[in-house]
Structure 1
Amino acid sequence: MPYQDLFVLFWEQVKLSCQEGTFAKLTMAKTIGKPNLKNIFVRPIYSDNDFKVLVKLRYQSKETEDEENELTLEDAFVFLKPYLRTSFSSVLLFTTTKDVTFKINKKGAGSITENYPTFHNVIQPKSDLE
């Protein structure tokens, strides 16, 4: 299955974890090459009337300031997709019930694996946007 299709299935697990209130964090990792962009982190922002995520781009060099954006879950999906296979080869979903890892191998095939949860509580991020 092409990695793009598998990422859509992976994202369904992200959406489900958000609906269930178990979403703790999402991390894009395993950089390809030697980019300045080190990681992308996505954390939940739960509020009474809507759900958003804080997307943080962390850079290698101290000269480049980290970027933060508050996005809807659908906007985050659109934002993250171009980084797949160009900047990062894995995406880790941390929930309070399980960890789900999406990986792209060198041939462009995707895979999803599940493990025991790393997080047991959902932690609200501190945003510079507040």
Structure 2
Amino acid sequence: MTYQEDFVLFWEQVKESIQEGRFAKLTMAKTIGKPNLKNIFLRPLASEGDFKVLLKLRYRLKETEDVEEELTLEQALEVLKPHLKKSFLTVLLFTTTKDVTFKINKKGIGSITEGAPTFQDVRLADRDW
């Protein structure tokens, strides 16, 4: 199975956690090398109608200002996908019932593991987190 196929399974868990109101946060971490882009975060936002997330790009260099965007989940996925395996090897889903980790190993194989939840409740993002 390719890492892309495993990521599709992982993303289904993201969507399920949102539908069930358990989605707390998503983080792309474990960069390849030392790029300026350090992390990508998604947090739920209070919104009328469709579910929205606050996407935050965090940079290493202080001179580079962090970027925040309000997006739908589908739009956020389009931002995340190009960074898989190129910039980040790990994506962490934090829910109120479990943490789910998607990893790509050196051979390009994906894996999904689950652990105890880090977050006890869902906190909606504000623009200062």
Give the TM-score band, short-chain normalised.
over 0.9
Q: Name 1:64's counterpart in structure 2.
A: 64
Q: What is the alpha-carbon root mean square deviation over aligned residues? A: 1.0
Q: In the TM superposition, what are the counterparts of 1:77-88 in structure 2 within 5 Å?
A: 77-88=77-88
SS at match of 1:30: strand
Q: In the TM superposition, what are the counterparts of 1:1-20 in structure 2 within 5 Å?
A: 1-20=1-20
The 8 Å contact of residues 45 and 126 in structure 2, kept in 1 or not, is answered as no
What do the CA deviations read for 1:66-117 (whole angstroms, capped 9, x no partner)? 0011111111111100000110000000000000000000000000000010
Q: Name 2:47's counterpart in structure 1.
A: 47
Letter in 1 for 2:91: V
The 8 Å contact of residues 58 and 66 in structure 2, kept in 1 or not, is answered as yes
Stretches of structure 1 that go unaligned for 5 or more consecutive residues are none
SS at match of 2:123: coil
Return the offset for 1:46.
3.3
Aligned pair count? 128
Letter in 2 for 1:99: D
Stretches of structure 2 that go unaligned for 5 or more consecutive residues are none
Structure 1 stretches of 4+ with a deviation exceeding 4 A read none
SS at match of 2:19: helix
* TM score, norm. by length of structure 2: 0.96
* TM score, norm. by length of structure 1: 0.95
Q: Name 1:102's counterpart in structure 2.
A: 102
